Amino acid sequence: MKPVIALVGRPNVGKSTLFNRLTKSRDAIVADYAGLTRDRHYGEGRMGSHEFIAIDTGGFEPDCTSGIFKEMAKQTRQAVAEADAVIFVVDARSGLSAQDHDIARYLRSTEKKVLLAANKAEGMKDSPHLAEFYELGMGEPIPVSSAHGQGIRSLLDMALEDFITEEDEDELELDDPERPIRLAVAGRPNVGKSTLINTWLGEERLVAFDMPGTTRDAITVPFERDGKIYELIDTAGLRRKGKVFEAIEKFSVVKTLQAISDANVVLLLVDATQGVTEQDAHIAGYVLESGRAVVIAINKWDAVDSYQRELLQRSIEHRLSFLKFAPVLHISAVKRQGLGPLWKAIGDAWKSAACKMSTPVLTRLLQEAVQFQQPKRAGAFRPKLRYAHQGGQNPPVIVIHGNSLEHVSDAYKRFLESRFREHFKLTGTPLRIEMKSSANPFVDKE
């Protein structure tokens, strides 16, 4: 499961800049203005092959009892509760403040792993000014510069060292028969996720009630079908940010994101009576970003008429067009309709995600594709695609080597993807194509 790292500190110490640096994004708004961030903000980060979830928080005032700062403090406490490790950010330029002492006192009471990051410390690695931060009793301050990227790798190494296990370093083969297939059932609240899993199990194993938000945590249930072992993961429904009020429900969001990231296959459940909403598309986008194999199941299909079914089909084509590779099935969890074909689609998606592709076959397919249609010229040069090999599974990654490959267009990559998909009969899984150009040996010579 992905570790969670929360960034905590007083206003304007650079937490959002550090968040953007960790997630390699610009998701958090950054300005030289105190108190800009107010809500918790989640993002995905990666260090080498290890992934994590980062949480950006607003300026923390633990003892504030009224106004918006009280609400911001509540958000920060919730982020700390969700986190596996906390990075306490202080400002190395402005020095220690009374508010830093208040935050340190609170963090010590949580008994979480806390790292003290002295931000804005460019050029201050050996400065005596850092010594005053030992007063906080949080261990040695780690000098970093979020704006310039200095010291970030060392900070992440220390934050994640307790969560990188030998199992992460040397995972079981994906096609190992002893390895269970992790199947996460995701979707908006009240689409029937718990009901579907109870139907599969043949018992009321999970609480299923006609009220959004009944499931609060990601529940894992072992299951065996046709001699294959599965781990069924029932996730909490993800609703729009403005609709999430209860702190306990906000806590379930990070659990759902972790469950999707850790799954081998995600079953995206859509309510036929509600249609495909913007939130369904948002969840689907997160599944795609995580690289998981996905099957789309339209639940409560028996409860809609032919006109609604036609509208639903159009909304799938429109709002989920980026999941064209995913099979769409129509089911009724309550009436047990369509569950057989659903299991077949799940099995096919997993086989595609764990597919092994030999280098000679990939290279032959690449050369045939280039003979059929060459990539467009870029100025005086035409990209040359020489050979291909597999670079990973779940999702499958194909690495193509050659010259001037940075000029290969997205349209041509989609053309190659369709050729590879057709040959290997890939369904239900994203396919990633990476281009690696050979270095020019004469580039540094006069």
Instruction: From 191, 420, 418, 412, select the one nearest 283 (Cα to Cα).
Output: 191
State the pLDDT at residue 290: 85
Q: Extract the residue ranges of the chain whose pLDDT is less than 70.
A: 26-40, 62-69, 126, 164-178, 203-219, 236-253, 439-446
Angle, helices 247-262/278-290, rounded to nearest 10 degrees: 40
Determine if residue 247 is left, alpha or beta; phi over 0 gives left, psi from -120 to 50 gives alpha, anything else beta: alpha
CATH of the domain at 427: 3.30.300.20
Within this chain, do residues 127 and 269 fall inside the same structural domain, yes or no? Answer: no
Distances (CA, A) of 14 to 58, 82, 146: 10, 21, 7
In one letter, which amino acid is 49?
Answer: S
- Residue 371 belongs to a domain: yes
Q: Are residues 325 and 395 in the same domain?
A: no
Q: Same structural domain for residues 95 and 230? A: no
Give the number of other Cβ atoms within 10 Å of residue 214's Cβ.
16
Please check whether residue 446 lies inside any domain of the structure: no
Query: Angle at CA 287, nearest 5°, toward 405 and 164?
Result: 85
For the chain, the 3-state helix, strand and coil shares in percent, each to the nearest 5, are 40, 25, 40
Q: How far apart are the C-alpha atoms of 275 and 282, rounded to whole Å?
A: 14
Domain termination residue (choose one: 166, 199, 227): 166
Residue 104 lies in a domain: yes
- Check whether residue 379 and residue 347 sit in a common domain: no
Are 201 and 344 in a shared domain?
A: yes
CATH of the domain at 287: 3.40.50.300
> Does 188 share its domain with 286?
yes
- The pLDDT of residue 191 is 84
Residue 173 lies in a domain: no
Dist CA 367 CA 369 (whole Å): 5
Q: How many CA atoms lie within 13 A of 133 on its CB side?
A: 26
Same domain for 148 and 201, yes or no, is no
Domain assignment of residue 176, yes or no? no
Structure confidence at residue 328 (pLDDT): 93
pTM above 0.95, yes or no: no
Domain holding 54, by residue range, is 4-166
Regarding whether 368 and 340 lie in a shared domain, the answer is: no
On whether both 226 and 314 belong to a single domain, the answer is yes
Confidence (pLDDT) at 240: 46
Domain stops at, among 299, 326, 352: 352
- Residues 427 and 373 occupy one common structural domain: yes
Rg, the chain, Cα only: 25
For residues 339 and 370, state if they share a domain: no
* Residue that is last in its domain, among 317, 352, 387: 352
pLDDT at res. 361? 94
> How much is the pLDDT for 248?
37
In a domain, 330, yes or no: yes
Indicate whether 215 belongs to any domain.
yes
Is residue 445 included in any domain, yes or no? no
Bridge partner list, 41:
56
Q: For the chain, how many structural domains are there in total?
A: 3
Residues 6+ apart with CB under 8 A from 192: 208, 269, 271, 299, 300, 333, 334
Quick one: 342 and 363 in the same domain? no
| Helix residue ranges per DSSP H, 291-354 | 306-319, 339-353
Cα-based distances in Å from 435 to 85, 271, 409:
35, 39, 11
